[in-house]
Amino acid sequence: MSVILNIETSSKNCSVCLSSKGNLVTSFDLEDEAYRHSEL
């Protein structure tokens, strides 16, 4: 069984989730003004 870790950090939202066989297993979202590395 393969499990994929997905990480999205391009804006002030940081999203992390695990998926297996194309199905979402679990997810976590955090919004923080400090996370803005791709915004101008």
| pLDDT, tens only, 8-36 | 887 788 899 999 999 999 999 988 877 66
The 10s digit of each residue's pLDDT in 4-14 is 999 988 778 88
| Domain extents in the chain | 1-35
Instruction: Name which of 14, 28, 16, 13 is nearest 4 in CA terms.
Output: 16
Cα 26 to Cα 5, 9, 39: the distances in Å are: 10, 17, 27
Q: Residue 15 contacts by C-beta under 8 Å, 6 or more apart in sequence?
A: 6, 7, 8, 27, 28, 29, 30
Model confidence pTM above 0.75: no
